[in-house]
Chains A and B, each alone.
Chain A
Amino acid sequence: MAGKDNKIKCIFFSEFHPVAGPKITYQVKTDSEPGDYISKEMFDIFHVYIITKPQLQNKLITVNALGHKIMGCSVGIENAKYSRNALLFNLCFVFDSLSNTTPYEPVVKKLASYLIAMELENGFISNEDSKSALPDILSKLLVQMNTYGKCSIQVNESNTIHLKTVSTAIDPPAVLGHHVPMFLVDKHSFNISQWDLTTQQLLPYIDGFNHVQLIAAEADVDLHLARMCMQNLLYLGIITLVPIFQFSNVYIPTPDINKLMNDTTLKHQCIRYVAKPGHEIPRFSEVFKLYCGLAPGITVKDFCARHNPHSLNVDHRKLIQFGVMKGLIRRLQKYPIRLPSTPSGYHSDNLKSLNKLLQGYNNYDEICCKEGMSHQELEEKIENDPHIVICWK
């Protein structure tokens, strides 16, 4: 098997011939071996799924068997002018059986609708002369789709076939007000003017330190809109989200910390990134020791007091930022939870509004953002109440 390169191996045009029945009229392929890619015998096995019964027409059908994955959308156009009162055809893409063909599904569907439109307009398929242009179109299609993932082929004055594969990424997580966006690619590597206006307004404020709520305020953009823009950027892999930097945060190393020890380029990148500007580049062993100094129960404040990163020419904010961005460390979130046994009326009034946030759903960041209070204020309220416990996860 050639592997999972997701390339189209062959494109064929198949139709129902009034005399000969279902057959492949044209096929083009990528390999240079002589003979047809889909042999007559093989087509006979599959033709049920290619020139289908009326119930299965206009449905995207993918057959995966015998090492091939054939994707097509069977078309049937009924009209008395055709020899059997209907014109049946199907333009199919063939892949290796292990390929991921999901990106091509809309392409095949759209191509079928192009052909239908062209047939209805000027009998493109039923007219033998215009149909003979198909092999040429198919080979262009094959080359352009495999090379660029998109194509524009002019068929006649009024019809141009535009196709593009769309790869789907995982849905990005929701962006909340206290998240901090951070560029994964060079900020200057893309043309800012191509973005929508709101995003353009937001981009200058993304620096890896400002949180979304602050960015929205600075850029004078509605918070909801700003969050949606960020989610879009996140989907496109341009930014990542890091937790807001606070001295009360707690981080712990992940097993990926070993990467830092073994990957030389990452090591270089790391010591350059965490260096205090205008100072000598810190030693790697010191930086590594700093990462290993992070542990549950040690806040960044304790950490700085204990290890004093500044004396080692290390910027503690950047140290944390780099670690989170590369997945070397992760943040432990602090969840205040009220124990259910609390006698009613015991707790003070100012906590009442808070109570619904103390059910284990919200962490400190979320509560502070929602209630508009500082970490310090919340901490004081929580600490005064013996019925609230803290969980870190």
Chain B
Amino acid sequence: MSKCSPIAVILVSSGSRGERLLFRYPYEFDENKEVTQLNLPHNPYALIEEDEESKDGRACSTISQGQLAGYSDEILAHILATKTELCGRKFELKVDDIRFVCHPTIIQDVNSKLKKRSKEAPTMILFNVVFALQGDVFQSVVHCYHDLSKRLSIALKHEERRCGFLSSQAQIMLSVHDEVAALPEDCLDSPFRLMLPKSKLCRDLKDAYENNNWIQVSFCLPHKVHNVEQMRIDPDVIEKSLAAIRPYHAMLLLEEENELLEFLPLDCSPSLIRLIKLTTPLKSLQLLSQDCDLALSQVFQLVGHLVYWGKATIIFPLCEANVYVLSPNCDLRMTSPLVEEFTDKFPGQSLTAVLSNFSLPLPFGEHRNPLFEQQQLDQVRIVMWLLQNRLLIQMHTYVFLVALDIYLDQEVTSLRPHRLSERSFGSCGSTAESPGFGSDDVTVSQSLESCSLKSTDVGSDEDIQLKKGLSDNLLSELSEAEQASVLSIPAASNEEDLKLFARLCPYFRGKHHLEEIMYYENLRRSQLLTLLDKFRDVLITCSHQDAATITYQEFL
């Protein structure tokens, strides 16, 4: 059983008839369990053991078979129907290895209005929807269940105010309790089982326990939706990764479009439906926003929403230049259920063979055989499927600007190389920090224009002088050694190349991959690659995963 699943859901109330446990699910009236409990005293050894344990003060677990055991209804009602002072805020109670999370809510003020109508009815002062969890779950999970409890409470309070829903349901539950209590001892049945068909609220709570999807309240526990084995997710990881969505990313739906559309509630936003219908993994979010006629920020929100619910993930748009390798979490075992699923989906293909093809970092375009046109489509579908199942990660290329050694030696008289590099890199840290290039760009291009105007009417003698002036302006963000290194490259004498290089300099600190540079600077891949090649002596390229989307590829 998953650690994140609740052990039980409990509804308690407190009112004129005292503290009552109205409903709990799962109710434990398992015949087997009762038998074992009855048998216990007959076994002298068991009895002694038990005594010792309680004397030691050591806890015997109160969770048996994933259910809450050993607590009577009365004691649960006693501890979970809190004082009114604790209402309206988070309440967390941990008893040994069970953690109760809830949001007690007062409804007395609502009740007092109703009371005028029916004075006979017993009043309810507060109610509490409680989730019992295992004691050692992560704080973020606790937080999510509190949120669920809070939402349920708010919805119930609203319904109570509207039509007295809670009171009437409580009435039904209480009468069942009374009926059962009146029954003779030997035909003791769980009152909670009898309640289920009679009360809608009971059924809804049961649903909440079983599905985490409630009818009136939408709720999703990210930890369960994303089926992650490594449960050590920071509570804010998801939010952080949502913030990392960029316009050049694309959305990959994790379910079939039709399934997803059916899943959506009736009253969902029409733009969400439009978005789902128009999205393809080939289309960047920016294009998608144009196609859907929505603001980019709204697209981000809708995509973030789908990602949070585990219905979509963020990828870089599929294109021929993408380089994929296997994810470190990729399940290679022949017994993995994915193997069969893959063969069902793509008859005649073997998952293992396909994965083996992706073991070497070839650009996606080179994976396919140009002789078979049909295969192309298949390949795209296969990659989509592999990405949906998080078997692949994408490698991106990053560029670092590194000064040449001779200039580093000139710059500082001391011969210690690490001191040198420290200096030159110390300055680069600050420039790389500023991803908002807006203002810098303007000044660079202005000085650039003025320079190029001059360059038309000056002689070759002054050319060198000018080039120096130009480079001073252009490369002012670089350290001296870096400037000297860049200018020593033959391509730097070509003004166009140098201008382009200067424009792209801020990206050469290893924080922006080629695709990002292409997007921000509106360049074609070939242009960028040519430039990188011309200046290759001062540039180091490195390919690794994109740190910003690493969570999408591994967790989300």
> Interface residues, chain A, CB within 8 Å of chain B?
44-45, 48-49, 53, 55-56, 58-66, 73, 102, 109, 112-113, 116, 170, 252-255, 257-258, 261-262, 264, 267-268, 271, 281-285, 288-289, 291-292, 295-297, 330, 332, 335, 337-341, 359-361, 389-393
Contact = CB atoms under 8 A, between A and B. Distances in A.
Contacts of B353: 339, 389
A337 B332 contact: yes
A296 B325 contact: yes
Contact of A337 (B325, B356, B550): B356
Contacts of A391: 326, 330, 332, 352, 355-356, 359
B418 interface: yes
A255 B543 CA distance: 9
A324 to B, nearest CB: 14
A296 B540 contact: no
B276 to A, nearest CB: 31
B425 A261 contact: yes
Contact of B57 (A58, A63, A170): A58
Q: Which of B326, B336, B359, B547 has the most CB of A within 10 A?
A: B359
Nearest to A253: B544
Given A281-B418, A360-B334, A391-B352, 20 more contacts: A49-B93, A55-B72, A56-B95, A60-B59, A61-B94, A112-B57, A252-B543, A253-B543, A258-B511, A262-B425, A283-B405, A283-B408, A292-B542, A296-B359, A296-B395, A359-B334, A361-B332, A389-B356, A391-B330, A391-B332
Shortest 9 CB-CB contacts between residues of A and residues of B: A255-B547, A389-B356, A292-B542, A360-B332, A64-B92, A284-B421, A62-B94, A393-B326, A392-B359
Interface stretch (B22-30, B77-85, B215-223): B77-85
B418 A267 contact: yes
A238 B379 CA distance: 47
A82 B86 CA distance: 33
Contacts of A271: 417-418
A255 B545 contact: yes
Nearest to A329: B544
Contact of A292 (B78, B82, B400): B400
B434 interface: no
A48 B546 CA distance: 53
A392 B57 contact: no
29 contacts: A48-B79, A56-B95, A59-B95, A60-B94, A61-B95, A62-B92, A62-B94, A63-B92, A64-B94, A65-B82, A102-B136, A116-B57, A255-B547, A261-B510, A262-B425, A262-B429, A267-B422, A283-B405, A295-B361, A337-B332, A337-B356, A340-B350, A359-B333, A360-B333, A360-B352, A391-B332, A393-B325, A393-B328, A393-B332
Contacts of A257: 510, 542, 544
A46 to B, nearest CB: 8
Given A64-B93, A258-B511, A296-B359, A393 B333 contact: no
